[in-house]
Structure 1
Amino acid sequence: MTEPLSYSTATPCLGLPMLFAGQAQKETTVNEALVAIDILLAGNVEGVASAPPIAPAAGMAWIVGAAPTGAFAGQTDKIAGWTEGGWRFIQPSVGMRAFDRGLGTYRQYSGGWAMPLAPNLPTGGANVDVEARASLAVLVTALKQLGIFS
């Protein structure tokens, strides 16, 4: 016996809404998907915020912080993008990166948002070789976390 066809209501990776044959008001579904795509493809966030900014401009986005309040309540770690229709929240997927404009660095999602920390610089003296090796090890680890090295 054949299995009946079953369709998902959202895309598997980003959760974008799907269209169905005969669907009324397709423009609503398409526009919601375009808004999410616009926020994600821009790849930028202003920073981390636990409360919604007072006067955001359309297209601005933030990573929702650990103790969200107001419109951000219950949206920890999601990307919050401001649109003409209000806030849109997007669940990041593992490996997703966003450029933090406030800090001038990238953040990467792996169950939580992280940034590589700069290694300690070696100082002069008898132990400079040991310190230099330790600094390089930290640097290589940070580059691996960003997916630059495997």
Structure 2
Amino acid sequence: MTVLPTPRLALPLLEPGQAQKEMFHNEALALLDIATQAAVVAAMVDLPPAAPATGQCWIIGAAPQDAWAGQARKLAGWTEGGWRFLTPRDGMRVWVAADQALALFSGGEWYQGRTYGRLFIEGRQVVGPRQSNVAEPSGGMTVDAEARGAISAVLQMLRQHGLIGTD
């Protein structure tokens, strides 16, 4: 490896006059292949598979064993040259085929099943920041009036959350 790898993915850089530059270049390409449009077979796996196919990747769990020992929470990709490990950066997202969902790396941990941000459909925001809860209905002598009030409050909150239209 070179003295100064790239700052984000720690890819090996070529140096002037370096011998066997193709080895460093190929190593960088192998790691880029794992990182770009990242997709893994499964996440939080601690044991390497017995017979991985070239190009398959996994998110390593917290207690890796065997060939993955010491590589906790990294991406592991099987190449023709063996295992390659990529240290994730905050904000990295990876498609997890086994779960049909994205995993997000943040604060040194992988999170699955979480969504951040706002949702827009056809240019219109349908989900935004969370608002306060709808209060439970109270009072009222007639059940119908109380039910109408509760339904109105629910509709108002759904509008504020952007889940239903205002028109």
The TM-score bracket by the shorter chain reads 0.7 to 0.9
1:26-58, Cα deviation, whole Å (9 max, x unpaired): 000000000000111131011121000011111
Matched, 1:27 2:22: yes
User: Which of 19, 35, 40 is the equivalent residue of 2:35?
Assistant: 40
Q: Which residue of 1 aligns with 2:119?
A: none
Matched, 1:112 2:109: yes
Aligned counterparts of 1:8 and 1:116: Cα–Cα separation in 2? 38
- Give 4+ residue runs of structure 1 displaced > 3 Å after superposition: 126-130
Q: Which residue of 2 aligns with 1:121?
A: none
Amino acid at match of 2:21: K
For the aligned residue pairs, the C-alpha RMSD in angstroms reads: 2.7
Amino acid at match of 2:5: A
Q: Which residue of 1 aligns with 2:75?
A: 79
Amino acid at match of 1:54: A
Matched, 1:16 2:11: yes
Shift of 1:117: 4.7
Q: Kindly tell me: are residues 47 and 55 of structure 1, through their superposed partners in 2, closer, same or farther at Cα, counting changes over 3 Å? A: same
Gaps of 5+ in 2: 116-146, 162-167
Shift of 1:91: 0.3
Instruction: Classify the secondary structure of the residue corresponding to 1:108.
Output: strand
Shift of 1:8: 4.8
Identity %: 46
Aligned counterparts of 1:43 and 1:36: Cα–Cα separation in 2? 11
What TM-score do you get using the length of structure 2 for normalisation? 0.66
Which piece of structure 1 moves more, 39-48 or 51-60? 39-48
Aligned counterparts of 1:109 and 1:102: Cα–Cα separation in 2? 17
Aligned counterparts of 2:29 and 2:16: Cα–Cα separation in 1? 19
Gaps of 5+ in 1: 1-6, 119-125, 138-150
What TM-score do you get using the length of structure 1 for normalisation? 0.73
User: Which of 61, 64, 68 is the equivalent residue of 1:68?
Assistant: 64
User: Which of 42, 45, 50 is the equivalent residue of 2:46?
Assistant: 50
Instruction: Classify the secondary structure of the residue corresponding to 1:93.
Output: coil
